[in-house]
Amino acid sequence: MRISLIHSVSTMENRENVRGIAARVAVWSARHRALAILGWIAFVAAATVLSGVLGSRAATDSEQGHGDSGRAQRIVEEAGFPERPAGEMVLIQNRAGTDRAAATAEVTRTLKTLSDVTDVQPAIQSPDGRSSLIAFSITGDPETAKDRVGPALDAVAKVQAGHPDLFVAEAGDASGDKLIGDELDAGLARLSMLSIPVTLGILLVAFGAAVAALLPVGLAVTAVIAAIGLMAGFSRLAPTVDATSHVMLLVGLAVGVDYCLFYIRRERDERRAGADPHRALVIAAQTSGRSIWVSGLTVIVAMAGMFLTRDTTFVSFGLGTILVVTTAVLGSLTVLPALLSLLGDRVDAVKIPGLYRRRGDGRFWNGLLKVVLAKPLISAVVAVAALGALAAPALDLKTKGESIDDVAPSAPIVQAYKAVGEAFPSKTTPALVVVQASSVRDERFQQALTSFRDTAKASGKLVEPIDVEINPAGTVAIVSVGLVGKGADSATLDALDTLRGRIVPDTFGRLPGATALVSGETASNVDFNKRLDDSLPWVFAFVLGLAFVLLLVSFRSVVVAITGVVLNLLSVAAAYGMLVYVFQYGHFEKQLDFVSSHGITNWMPLFLFVILFGLSMDYHVFVLSRIREGHDRGLPTRDAVREGVSRTAGVITSAAVVMVAVFALFATLPLNSTKELGVGLAAAVLLDATIVRAVLLPAVMALLGNANWWLPSWLRWLPEIAHDVPPAVEPVAAPRPLTPIG
């Protein structure tokens, strides 16, 4: 006689000791599986519609600014300057002593015939007499000028072809946006085409069955879609930046697949071990489900640390990742149990010949674990030495701001931009002195401007020409001036210090009631770095402190909490070292298609710390929960470690391979920052799942023995959270097939 699945589930809470949020949610979802599944679909659809209706509010330049440069940007935004069209420049440069006059005239004449080109300026000459520069603008909205700059680029390329003895190239706002947009669009298209098939392929190998492999991918993708939809609403509270959706996709695919993988593998393992369908689901929920929400909470806490920076980019990243992780946890704990209840043993349907097996043998990991537990001290020393060697380059870590140099350095637009910057420093990354006064058209301002010009020229650190733009009300002036150096080197930074500390205060600063602030790309990078330096201790303390508290409460052990924090820090340090070795020192440039700029993107170290510390908790909580299960059943610590690590090695390997594959795909995107993000995350996860979890963690726990579970008497009030599986209702001799009743 067959037992109705619905009836069995409805009596589950009475038959078994169902404890914990995850288990209770799983029981509810299995009992109301139609509501759970349809509710999830409705939730994803509603979030998508919300995104289309509201749209995301993008952060303005002033909202992303800090310090004096941020204040200057806000003054400019409020001053009512007319919208500037996208500016472009054509550089004609001697490289073999030839005459530039004919080419310069041809470029000027051709540009004036183009319908989308306006305001073509007379050519100016460089101080060394080797270069001519023609400035012009693209008509219409500067945000869409990249769509209209093509004819100008084609015309300039034609002139270059006719004058091979000269260097003739175009650069500017529209052409730069077109280059970055085209490169990024191609990279994202490639990423979207590869990420899901690659993830699915890995899961097919891990499960050996098509249905089981499709579930994590489907849930992860829908979780990302829903989270991006929700971000539109939350952007009213915290405006978003362009890269946020990329980060959400990166994190969402990784954690969404991992959470489902942990849950499904545990349910399948219990089913194959002889548990009936209901008990297998409860055990999976009470163990892996519990690990998922603890891990997810830890990730969310880590991401919340980004709010302490008070930086718009980090706040946007933090909010986006919190939304996508929360959505992934919600899907894993609600709709996944409902789907497993609906499918029953059919989750193993469409088996892949040669890949499907009832149990993973894990011979490699078991063999390695045997060696580690036999010689724990030697194993720990070797693992720490390996991580230390990888982390060593991090001691030389230097940061830099993002620039067009980080995109396709061989592209003519990038080469032209760099050449313009060398010949005409004030035209690419000028310092902008923003002066706000009752009037910037009166005699006093003109006297201050004359004094500024004279002082700037005499300093030897500022470069002409010095241009002035005044708003219609005559209350705000923008004075642009070039800085010596290459934009981020010591000479440029020294020039900026001189401008801010002496020249501006001694000239515009003497105007009665005036505000004079320095902005521009270099100033903005300096102010951004200062904000990060100021917030770094607070972020580290917040993330480390709350991660310690969560581990302490979850495992009721001070030692487990401390070792968890230390091991995660080792993973992060090793990732930093590998980033410096690759991107700062310039290794693997050909393989990764980049050119080293001798520094790491300035927002990368803090962001990687937060992301990696959160993600590494996935594996740590999962392994420790399985070890604690054995300990709670009375196993000696070493036996509990052996059982916990060996039984989780296979699923952690599969989960790590998924994460590494997804992260590595981001290294194929054209921006140096996305390459750094992909390589850093992939390397850290790989190290964390191998050296840290398979060697260092079991070695340290074996050395500590019963001390692992030390909790001082004054902390005995912490809640007891069971890690053992619920007792069996009745002995089961062999696996029984499940026949769901729809």
- The DSSP secondary structure of 346-363, one letter per residue, reads GGG-SB-TTT--SS---H
Task: Give the integer Cα–Cα distance in Å for 294 and 296.
Answer: 5
Residue 303: C-alpha distances to residues 211, 237, 318, 692 (Å): 32, 17, 5, 22
**pLDDT tens-place string over residues 2-46:** 344 444 444 444 444 566 788 899 999 999 999 999 999 999 999
Amino acid at 25: V
Helix (H, G, I), strand (E, B) or coil at 95: coil
**19 Cβ contact partners less than 8 Å away, ≥ 6 residues apart:** 286, 722, 726
**pLDDT tens-place string over residues 387-445:** 999 999 999 998 888 777 777 777 788 888 888 888 887 677 789 999 999 999 999 99
For 453-484, give one letter per residue: b (16+ CB within 10 A) or e.
bebbeeeebbbeebebebbeeebbbbbbbbbb
Token pair 């669009």 in the structure block, residue: 185
Task: Decide: residue 560, CB within 10 A, 0-12 exposed, 13-18 middle, 19+ buried.
Answer: buried
Mean pLDDT of all residues in the chain?
Answer: 86
Q: Are residues 276 and 340 in the same domain?
A: yes
Residue 661: C-alpha distances to residues 253, 613, 681 (Å): 11, 19, 10
Residue 81: C-alpha distances to residues 475, 517, 518, 523, 629 (Å): 11, 17, 18, 21, 66
Task: Give the integer Cα–Cα distance in Å for 702 and 677.
Answer: 34
Asked if the structure places residue 76 within a domain, the reply is no
Q: Which helix (H) or strand (E) holds 171?
A: strand 166-172
Asked if the structure places residue 184 within a domain, the reply is no
Q: Are residues 374 and 446 in the same domain?
A: no
Q: Which helix (H) or strand (E) holds 65?
A: none
Q: Are residues 215 and 319 in the same domain?
A: yes
Quote the strand ranges of 636-685, DSSP E. Answer: none
Contact 169, 156 (CB under 8 A): yes
What's 485's DSSP letter?
S
* Residues of the domain holding 98: 82-179
Q: Are residues 352 and 371 in the same domain?
A: no
Q: Are residues 394 and 492 in the same domain?
A: no
**726 pLDDT band (50/70/90 cuts)?**
low
Q: Are residues 506 and 579 in the same domain?
A: no
Q: Are residues 47 and 107 in the same domain?
A: no
Q: Are residues 228 and 349 in the same domain?
A: yes
Pull the structure tokens for residue 2.
């067959």
**pLDDT tens-place string over residues 578-634:** 999 999 999 998 888 888 888 899 889 998 998 888 887 778 888 898 898 888 888
Asked if the structure places residue 220 within a domain, the reply is yes
Contact 457, 398 (CB under 8 A): no
Q: Are residues 349 and 456 in the same domain?
A: no
**729 pLDDT band (50/70/90 cuts)?**
very low
**290 Cβ contact partners less than 8 Å away, ≥ 6 residues apart:** 20, 21, 22, 23, 625, 721, 723
Measure CA 379 to chain center: 33
Q: Which helix (H) or strand (E) holds 128?
A: none
**pLDDT tens-place string over residues 492-523:** 889 999 999 999 999 999 999 999 999 998 89
Helix (H, G, I), strand (E, B) or coil at 478: strand
**pLDDT tens-place string over residues 188-239:** 777 777 888 888 888 888 888 899 999 999 999 999 999 999 999 999 888 9
Contact 526, 65 (CB under 8 A): no
Asked if the structure places residue 69 within a domain, the reply is no
State the pLDDT at residue 453: 94
Pull the structure tokens for residue 128.
């060394």
**pLDDT tens-place string over residues 246-270:** 889 888 988 899 899 989 988 988 8
Pull the structure tokens for residue 731.
């002995």
Task: Give the integer Cα–Cα distance in Å for 555 and 552.
Answer: 6
Asked if the structure places residue 238 within a domain, the reply is yes
Asked if the structure places residue 259 within a domain, the reply is yes
Q: Are residues 503 and 533 in the same domain?
A: no
Contact 626, 287 (CB under 8 A): yes
- In this predicted structure, the answer to whether residue 169 has a pLDDT above a threshold of 70 is yes
Q: Is the peptide bond before 216 cis (omega within 30 degrees of 0)?
A: no
State the pLDDT at residue 190: 79
Task: Give the integer Cα–Cα distance in Å for 292 and 471.
Answer: 56
Comparing 410 with 342, the larger pLDDT belongs to 342
State the pLDDT at residue 230: 94
Measure CA 321 to chain center: 9
Q: Are residues 219 and 108 in the same domain?
A: no
Residue 435 β-bridge partners: 477, 516
Helix (H, G, I), strand (E, B) or coil at 245: helix
Give how many domains the chain has, as a whole number.
Answer: 4
Q: Which ranges of 499-636 does DSSP label H, i.e. alpha helix? A: 504-506, 521-555, 558-579, 589-592, 604-632
Helix (H, G, I), strand (E, B) or coil at 481: strand
Asked if the structure places residue 741 within a domain, the reply is no
Task: Give the integer Cα–Cα distance in Å for 570 and 19.
Answer: 34
Q: Are residues 564 and 687 in the same domain?
A: yes
Contact 500, 518 (CB under 8 A): yes
Asked if the structure places residue 653 within a domain, the reply is yes
Rg of the chain over Cα atoms, rounded to whole angstroms, equals 30
What's 629's DSSP letter?
H
State the pLDDT at residue 362: 63
Domain boundary among 481, 503, 519: 519
Contact 142, 173 (CB under 8 A): yes
What is the CATH classification number for the domain harbouring 218?
1.20.1640.10
